[in-house]
Amino acid sequence: IDVEETGFFVAADSVGAGTGDNVLITRGGAARVSLGERDVPVDATIIGIIDSIEVENE
Task: Please tell me the predicted confidence (pLDDT) of residue 1.
Answer: 65
Q: In terms of residue numbers, what domain contains 36? A: 11-49
Whether 23 and 45 have beta carbons less than 8 Å apart is answered as no
Q: How far apart are the first and last CA of the chain?
A: 27
Based on the structure, what is the number of domains in the chain? 1
d(CA 21, CA 28): 22
26 assigned to some structural domain: yes
35 assigned to some structural domain: yes
pLDDT tens column, 23-49: 999 988 888 888 877 778 888 899 999
30 assigned to some structural domain: yes
More confident call, 21 vs 2: 21
CATH of the domain at 24: 2.40.50.220
Q: What is the bridge-based pairing of β-strands 11-13 and 23-27?
A: unpaired
d(CA 9, CA 1): 8
